Structure 1
Amino acid sequence: MRNFIFLILSGLIFTGCSMNVKQDIIPPVVYNSSFEPQLTYLNGLIEDDPENPEYYFQRAKVFFDVHKYNDALKDINQAIYLESNEELYYELLARIYQKMGKTSLALNTAHRAESYKNDDPELFLLLSRLYWEIKDLGKAQQYLAKAKQLAPMHSEVFLLQGIFDSAKGDTTAAVKAYRMALTQEPENAKPYQELAKIYFARNKEDSAMYYVLEGRSINPNNPFFTYFEGVILDSKGLKTSSLRAFRKAIQMDSTFFPAYYRLGVDAFNSGSYTEAQTYFEPLSDKPEFSLNSNLYIAEILEKTGQAAKAVSYYENVKSEDTTNVKAKEALNRLYKLYPPVVFVPKVDSSALKPSAKGPLTDTLKPGVKIPKVETKKDTAKVKKPKPVVPKDTTRVKKTTQTIKKTDSINNIAPERKDSIK
């Protein structure tokens, strides 16, 4: 306790000595098993100097570490408002968006950070992972190569290489890469996550549980290890314990979506449709879970007598997977029962001009006389079609004979014309 008070006083003295000088690095934060002392300390610094962006940046990092992403987002946006040209601020903002499942925003923000500083291996690793999340393996590998060139022995370089190897089906190479990552940084919990997945897929639950427990000992606040413990327990038939683990993972991080999906499936299979829908709804727009979640929600709505509402969810599935047979069959069936409604825009009668006979009668109040509207007659003359006269063939013959006779007269020598007349 004495050390804690001493550090706070030291920080305040340091702050008081440099009130008029912009600090690049804030005083050291008091670290503890709880994040509350850190927040208390930073709250005091912000209260004394609310225009210092570094304080908001550091507090955003604390919120980020304890999975309070909305609070972290608010603080990092304030830091950027106060200092809009700092690469580290945009990098943290990108990581926050990534954790919130907003991959497109995360990618755009990471590129904004890259525009300020293009030689940061940490940023290249983040970009590599983001491109991996949108299934652009080519770009993901390009940024991994950039990071490897700058920091070839970086733990995250081996981690991402292991993820790419595993995706290609080469789990042996992946395990080797993850172990190399742990050699470079034994406190990096992420390789433990990936190793637990691989050994569980190999039906080696005991080895998978070993990596779960090791990873949790390093990072006890990481919801993955609690969640994956639930996955392993469920595979052993310990359903009650597994469900407890999934719920605890959500308590640790309210945005940990794999746990929502597991709980939703279990509730659906047990007939608790309303509960299942509450778990699936947050996943309906998340790329990794959206297709199956929309299908589950649509089925739940049909089972609970809300078939008309199910149409939009089946349409979501169809837009994501045009070959989905289940969605197509359901839509064909439902559109027969609930034909699409064609909406006709309502016309404002007051905006209509009066007709030639007078104003619209339905817009008048009772007892109001309809005023006469003088209309000009259309004086434009209409040309009458000329009558078709049948040809007089006899007249044509006479005319032809006359022309021939005239031609013969014109061809006679001048001295003979008078005699002919």
Structure 2
Amino acid sequence: MGNEVTYNIKGNYGKLNYAVVVFCFVPFLLSQHVLAQKVAAKPLAPIDSTIVKQLFFSALREKTIDNTKLAADMFERVLQTDPSNDASMFELANLKKTQNDYAGALPLLEKAVTISPDNEWYWVALADSYEKNNNISKLENVFTQLIRINPDKPDYYFDKANAYLLLKKYDDALKVYNQLEQLNGPSDDILASRQKIYLKQGKIDQAAAELEKAIVDNPGQIRYYLLLSEIYNSNGLSDKALNVLQKAEKLDGSNGMVHLALADIYRDKKNNDASFSELTLAFANQDVSIDEKIRIIAGYFPKFPEPNAKASALELSRILTIAHPADAKAYAIYGDMLLQSAKYKEAKAAYKKSIALNEQVYAVHEQLVRIELSENDMDGTIKDGENALSLFPNQGWMNYMVGVGWAQKKDFKKALGYAKNATSLEIQDKDLLSLSFSLLGDCYHDLKDNKSSDEAYDKALSYNPDNAFTLNNYAYYLSLRSEALDKAAQMSARSNELQPNTASFEDTYAWVLFKQKKYADAKVWMEKALAHDKDNSSAKYEHYGDILFYLGNTEGAVQNWKKAKSYGEQSPVLERKINEKKYSE
């Protein structure tokens, strides 16, 4: 049975090195080792000694099968018989820690280290408990003891220094780093740790001096130039930072991190052209993390009302696809930037490339299908939408969009299935639910199931009473059946308030008024519809002729019926109206 003992000291000091002690714990062997280290206490009678051993090993067995309550009870019984059994204290403390009872573990571990002061794992466990109980002041002694026991382990020195940092004993922390340097020689970790302390102390010159020395000793190590420039720039010394980076650029002009740092400095100096130029060099470098590059592109988002910001983000994302041609994220962000720039055809191509590289990112599928739907590409919507649903079947928006695609293709039974899927998912998105139930209403209407259609529309409006398209469609279908005309009129009037100057909505309202025999009002709204109609809708001219007929203008009615025919309407009813010069249903 493997077991790990770990501890961390955490604080607001950036990324620090924390000791992580890992060891394989074979219960019987370790227990015998631990027992052998015990400081002699009052000897047990032979029979008691045998009972203690049996109980202890039985407890270990229960622990290995996760029967923690029984194991804890057994360790407690061991301590009742043998109060100085440090191994049981350690095991019982660990059980308490698994239940987040760090306060209960503390006294057991504190007593265990007094009985067996050279047991490294006891001190490690105690350090973890002090940290979890926020007893930072007591950590100094724990790490002092761990260094005494294992002086060659660097992690203990870093942890002791970190404890001092948490206590703001900066000079003491520096002394520990000096000890560690004497033990193992200089290292970047020690250098970085000292830098943090110097900066906390406000000793910028000293922090810079150490890095300058590191540069002298290692003139080809670009990381030291980057650290030094960061110190200068973050403390208002941008000219010094720029000078350091320019030296680094001469040494290694292909280093992407140098170009990123230069871009930051030029941006701070308001030299946007130079900053962008450095960014393009950094983005072309494959060694710079793609995630870092995406983070930089995302920084442009709040500035997108500015055309230059969009253009810059678009160009950087294009370069990203060249530097990282096999990474799906590069094409996904490029697609997003193309979409922001209204380059829909190119955005679709980018999203498809991203999906080809990695089909497991749902958001990219949705972006692609949304574009296809907005462009009235129903074949693409259905094909790519159904592909997405084969991977992500429980996505509500995708089910809805594929349903719209099938409805536009007049396959209402298939559309109905997807709409039902969208409404059956446990989603909290009221807009999506409203749209999906509205789609259900449309499908049921075309399948001649008026009762289910009305119920679906009512459900849609319960989620969004101001869904203008639902209000319009519901009102129109009621008017066609000459049912609930007052309700239809209210809904149609509201849709026109929500979305004024929409020809199809005005046509619906005119037709509801016509069905209510309010012909004069119907004429006003139909004339609005014709004024706003950009498609020369034959249905609107036919409706206008119907209204004029009931207002006694037979000649005007026939003229508009003929117009309807000229714009493509070929129904027998229209022919009869024209031939008989009277309204017919």
Q: Which has the larger radius of gyration?
A: 1
TM-score (norm 1): 0.46
Query: Larger helix proportion, structure 1 or 2?
Result: 2
